[in-house]
Every structure is written in C-alpha cells, then in structure tokens.
Structure 1
Amino acid sequence: MRLLILFLLFSTIGTCLAQPTRPADYGLKAFSIQHKKLGTINFYVSATGIDSVKPLLIALDGSGHFPLTTLVQLKKHMLVYNSFDNDILQLADKFHIVLISKPGVQFCDTVVIDADSVKAGEVAEHMKPPAEYVKRASLYWRSEAASAVINYLYKKIPVNKQKVIVYGYSEGGQVVPRLAAINKKITHCASIVGAGLNQFYDWITKERVAAAKGEISLQEAQRRIDSLMLVFADIYKHPTATDKEWEGHAYQRWGSYCKDIPLESLTKLTIPIFMAVGSNDTNSPIYGLDYVPLEFLRLGKQNLTYKVYPTDHFFNEVKPSAGKEEVISHKHEMIEDLLKWLGQ
C-alpha cells in the first residue's frame, strides 16, 4: 500500500453552527486504558445497545496522525472531516462498534485555514503530528493497542464471543492480520484495501508499471528503483528511528510495517478472512494483493474470501459517460458482501 494522505477517506462535511465534534455526537461512549508499555489508549464504543449482547467489531482506520474528527475553520464556514468509516458506524444496531485513536491524538482537533475553500491535502498540511504519535506510531502499537482494547471490552460489556471481528481499512487493513495472529479471541478478520506483500514492493512495481506503459524509460525506472533501494536499506538499518523520516512518516513507522508482512500473518490464521480490494486502486495496488489468494491455493487453505471491485481506494468506479466522468460507488456493495460473509 502506497502511503498517501488518507485521513479524509470518509468525510462528513457540515456547515451548520453546531458541529459534531464530540464522541457523543456520533453515538459513541469514550473509554481509556493506561497501559504500562503502550501509554494511553483512547477508544470509543457505540452507545446503542451497549448493555446488550452483540458481536464486537473493532474498526481500524487508515494511515496518518489525524484525529477521528477534524474541525476545519475557513473564512466563512466550517467543515467536519472524519477519518473513520461512517458506513461501519451505521452498523451499531448489529455490532458493538469500536474506534481507536492514534497514540497521542485527541478525538477532535481544530484546524484554522485563512481561505474560502480547501482541498483535502491542504488540510493535512496544516496538521503537525504530536510528539507522542511520532514516538509510538508503528504496526506494533496499533496491533497491541487494539488487542488490549479487545481484552478490556471482553470483560466490560456483553460480547457475543462467537463473533469478535477486526475490520481494517487501508493501513488498518495491514494491522488486522497481525492483530488476529496475536489475539486468539478474534474470530473474523477483514482487511479492506490493505496489503499482501512488503509495502515497499508497491513503490517498486509503480516504477516498473510506469516503464511498461511508456510513461518513463526502462533506464529511468531502474534509476528510480535503485534510489528507492538506498532509502529502504537505510530504513532497515534504522528501523526504530523517530528522528528520520521518509514520505511524511518516521522510519519507525516504515520499519515496523515493512518487517512484518501481512501475507505471513494471514497464512497463519485459521479463522475466516475477508479481503476487499480495488483493481484500480493506486494507493493499495492490487499486484501485491493478488498474491494472497494464490498463496492460499498453494497452501491448500480455504479460509479466505477475496473480493475484487473495479474501483479506486475509496470503492469508486470512474466511467466515461457522454464526454464526462461518471462516478459509481461500490462501497455499499462491499459492505453487503462483508455482512453476508459474517452471516448478518
């Protein structure tokens, strides 16, 4: 999965005076764990039916240091953006939905931009990562923190222990294979536009594909790949460094996600696995993901459901129509496939 600014993955735009900026505004109840190794873990559980027995669904969002909710103050109005999957939150009548903040990141933050309008990337540029986030951000923190949350809620709320589901989108889709491998309470693993092979491999294939399409020469592709290999070598040499960064993330982030490969964790699992991928996704290219079902065939494993949609990273299909581009969303189709897989 190529790392881009994805915190606006699921955006809710509001221009009214009362903006939804608190957990309660989304029907969520706030919890916190003080963990000796991981520090403070802030998480939120859907309040609807919290005292009823329901399956547990841990929803992990994508990459970056962004709050679950961001309030953007422009010159004449305000916008609210969410990093979490609102479609999953709408399933609170069926599941205990759980959202987890990144380390050192509050539920909501405010960004003031002196402009009449704003693009997604511009919002991200105005948000500096908290020191606590830089210190802790890694595959290990996210998977271990989510595991701690599951163990905590297992005791605190009535959970249908036959269905403890981890659902990860984008970077979250890279986290859930390891999470499912370390916590045996988990019964179902859903990786949505995540990754299969080493994340660095996506950067290499990008250059090879560009050369194959004639966008750059073969020599230029090799030059770029050689340059990438030098960066990768330096990251592997300093895998826990937080004072060095590449593509907007500390080496520690890259060093963790590119050491534990999703495929290695996925093939160890015996629980049902659901993977949803987009064949036109440039953020999480399908080339490395297609290797997962092939490997499951080689190993004779039959616990993988692998769904491919003709879409980008956000489950949008773009079709030419009357000289224009028509955007067709397949998001609800993916959610329906997920629910069918879960037997809901």
Structure 2
Amino acid sequence: MKKFFLILGAGLFLAGKMQAQVPLQDSLLRMVKFKAYQIVEKRDTTRFYVYQTSPRPRHMLLFLDGSVPKPLFNYEYEKGQLKVYTWNHGEQHWLPEDYLYVLIARPGYAGVLSNAQIDSLNRHMPAVYLEKNSLDYRVRTADAVINYCRKKLLKDEGKTIVFGHSEGFNVVSRLLTVNKKITHGGLWCGSAMPDYYDFMIMKRRELYEGKVSDTLAARQLDTMLNNYREIFKDPGYAKPGSIYTNKRWISYARGPIEDLKQVAIPLYQIIATQDSNAPYESAFIVPLEFIRLGKTNLTLRTLIGGDHSLNTTSTEGKKVSHWKECFLDFISWSEYLIRHK
C-alpha cells in the first residue's frame, strides 16, 4: 500500500504492516527499502541512507535538500498498523534499477523517528545541528559519502549525479569544485548570489508591487545591511530560537556563481518564475555569466508559474506538482549526454 502526503513541500511515501511493538531501525528502513550506512571519523559520524534494487548498481544519485532541518524518515501506528514515511518526493521510485539513490541525514536527525521525537526536535533543536550546520560541513560530508559509495557500493565507473534544491543548490555548487568524480550536477531553485542579496531583491519587489513606499524600502535595506555587518562581527553567535547561526550565514556568504564558474562538467539548472525563495533576478545570473565566459556546459530549464517547490497553480486554484516531470527530464538529460559524448 502506498499513499502520498504533502508536508513542507515534500512527499511522504508509506508502507505498512502489523506490528505489536516498536521495531528496530533496520526493520523500519526495510519497509521503505532503504539501508543505513555510516562513516565514522574521530569527532563526527556521517549517517546516510541508500535505496537500491540492483545487487550491484552502476550509477549513483545523491540528493541534497534545502535549509529546513528535518528527519528523512518517521513512523507511527494508526489503528494498530505500523506506517513508515520517507520525507522526500519519491525520486528513488523513478530511477532505473542500476542506480543507487542516496540521502544524508542532518546532525541530530538521523534514523526513523517517531512523531513524539519529531515534536521534541521541533521544540528543541539539537545542539549538534546548530554546532555543525554550515556549507563547509555539508560539502565535506557529501564528498565523503560519494567516495564511500563509489568505492564500496557501485559495480563500476558509472555516473555520479548530484542535485540540490534550494540551499542544496549552494552545496552542490561548492561540492562540484571539491569532488572530481561527479559527472553531472543539478541546480534546482537556487540563487547565484548570497542569501542577503536575495532578501534585498525580495524587499525591492514589495516596492514595485506597491506594498511599501520607496522611503520604507530604503530603510529596510539599510537595516539588512546593518544586520549583515553584525553577523560578521560575531561569527560565534547563535540567536536563540533561530535555525541559523552566524557561522551558518557566513559560510554561505560567497555566491554560488563563484564556484560554478570553475565547473566544467554538464550542469542542469531549473528556474521557477514565481519562486519567492530564490528570485529569478538572482538565478539568471548563472546563464548570463556562462554566456559571458563562453561556457557551454549549462542546460537551462524554466518552469513558468512555478513556485519554490516546482508547483504551479491551476485555473481552479489547485496546486499542480511538476517535481516528477522535472526529475525525469533531468535523468533523461544525463542519459542523453552519456550516449552522445
């Protein structure tokens, strides 16, 4: 049995069976066909999860999601039925059998969690998450996971695809300069410039839409610049109740375009025209810079009317998801490039 739920813009895929007591983590993961792995280092352990249907797959795909900390899996009992959910859009079900599909847990959010555990995390964010959350940390762990999978889980030198959505766009951009085994990169609904640049664009939009006066808009931008200045004055500060520390803001202060200009492998970028998180005024800097530099390794897709989660709104006012069609086009694009290189 499989159902679809929409939570925080992601799909939850369900499997169920009768169970009297809380099962072990491995058995919960088997219900959604994932397997847990870990890379143990001196001061850290990276936990990641792999979905595979072939005994020895040739290719791998790593998905790097956005900035909101959340678990990858959860479970609950409903009328005596044990149900396990995967917090993604279900890409693992749309891949050919010779692929690995890989997800990396955020610090403090690993495992298959109960609803009570998730509620607790929502009330009290794990200190380990705040301590480690940064661009450098996400890039380092993704690099380690790719190297592990290629060495121990893949059959041969097949494709290594990474794609990132939202903040994952920034992570992929930097990761591509670090891991030279990646063959294809996906840049979904992200910006070429730092976060605060996007915030300023969105504030100016309010002026153009008549929501604020020019005087107020200018004052708001001055406030943003002062806030940004204060962040750099105190890199170790963590604002109570915020999911972002100053260390996190500073780590993302360099625009992804500076990394992307160094990348030679094929890139696939999606821009959604109604994206309120990653404005197209910033996203289109990527193709503009590539044209200026004579780079030909970028494929651009534009979703007209799409929001940050690649949804459009029908004439009846209903949300229509385009995530699957965009993902399938992305995979077809990578397959075509392999056949015609």
Q: TM-score range by the shorter chain?
A: 0.7 to 0.9
Q: Secondary structure at the match of 2:88?
A: coil
Cα shift readout 1:156-214 (whole Å, capped 9, x = no counterpart): 12244241111112211210111111011111111111221111111101110100110
2:258 counterpart (258, 264, 283): 264
* C-alpha contact (below 8 Å) 2:12/2:87 kept by paired residues: no
2:126 paired residue among 119, 124, 130: 130
Aligned-pair RMSD on alpha carbons?
3.0
Deviates more, 1:296-305 or 1:123-132: 123-132
Report deviation, 1:71.
4.5
State the partner residue of 2:339. none
In structure 1, C-alpha distance between the alignment counterparts of 2:216 and 2:243, rounded to whole Å: 24
Within 5 Å, give how 1:56-95 maps onto structure 2. Answer: 56-71=60-75, 82-91=86-95, 93-95=97-99
Unmatched 5+ stretches in structure 2: 1-5, 337-341
Scaled by the length of structure 2, the TM-score of the pair is 0.85
The amino acid of 2:39's aligned partner reads I
Residue of structure 2 equivalent to 1:118: none
Contact 1:147 1:183 (C-alpha < 8 Å) held by counterparts: yes
Report the alpha carbon displacement of residue 130 of structure 1 after superposing the two structures with TM: 1.1
Q: 1:158 to 1:94 in 2, by over 3 A?
A: closer
The verdict on how the C-alpha distance between 1:8 and 1:77 changes in structure 2, with shifts beyond 3 A counting, is farther
Matched, 1:313 2:318: no
Over 3 Å counting, the alpha-carbon distance change for 1:296 and 1:245 in structure 2 is farther
Instruction: Report the CA distance shift for 1:46/1:17 in structure 2 as closer, same or farther (over 3 A).
Output: closer
Whole-Å separation in 1 of the counterparts to 2:15 and 2:46: 31
Return the match for 2:222 from 202, 209, 226. 226
Matched, 1:33 2:39: yes
1:130 is aligned with what amino acid?
P
Amino acid at match of 1:46: Y
Q: Distance in 1 between matches of 2:282 and 2:227?
A: 20
Counterpart residue number, 1:107? 111
> What is the identity, as a one-letter code, of the residue corresponding to 1:236?
F
Kindly provide the CA deviation profile for residues 16-60 of structure 1, in whole angstroms up to 9, marking residues without a partner as x.
6769983222211111011236x11001111311x3242111111
TM-score normalized with structure 1 length:
0.84
- Report if aligned partners of 2:51, 2:92 keep a CA contact under 8 Å in 1: no
Cα gap change, 1:71/1:225 in structure 2, threshold over 3 Å: closer, same or farther? farther
1:33, 1:40 within 8 Å by CA — same for their partners in 2? yes
CA distance in structure 2 between the partners assigned to 1:328 and 1:91 by the alignment: 22
**Do the aligned partners of 1:279 and 1:309 also contact (CA within 8 Å) in 2?**
yes
- Which residue is 1:302 aligned to? 296
Classify 1:45/1:200 alpha carbon distance in 2 versus 1 (closer, same or farther; 3 Å). Answer: same
Aligned-residue identity in percent: 32
Q: Give the superposition deviation at 1:72.
A: 6.9
2:246 paired with 1:251:
yes
For the pair 1:213 / 2:205, whether they are aligned, the reply is no
Equivalent residue in structure 1 for 2:199, among 183, 196, 203: 203
| Equivalent of residue 337 in structure 1, options 291, 308, 329 | 329
Q: Distance in 2 between matches of 1:73 and 1:141?
A: 35
Cα 1:73–1:26 shift into 2, 3 Å: closer
Query: Residue 161 of structure 1 aligns to a residue in which SS?
Result: coil
Does the 8 A contact of 1:165 with 1:188 survive in 2? yes
Unaligned 5+ residue runs, structure 1?
A: 1-5, 114-121
Question: What pairs with 1:4-19 in structure 2 (closer than 5 Å)?
Answer: 8-12=8-12
What SS is found at the alignment partner of 2:268? strand
Once the two structures are superposed, the pairs formed by residues 276-295 of structure 1 within 5 Å of their partners are 276-295=270-289
- Residues 18 and 82, structure 2, Cα contact 8 Å, conserved in 1: no
Q: 1:46 to 1:54 in 2, by over 3 A?
A: same
Q: How far apart are 1:104 and its partner, in Å?
A: 2.8
Closer, same or farther in 2 for the Cα pair 1:75/1:243, shift >3 Å?
farther
2:57, 2:155 within 8 Å by CA — same for their partners in 1? yes
Shift of 1:336: 2.4
> Partner residue of 1:143?
139
1:10/1:82 contact within 8 Å kept: no
The aligned residue for residue 154 of structure 2 is 158
Q: 1:274 deviation in Å?
A: 0.7
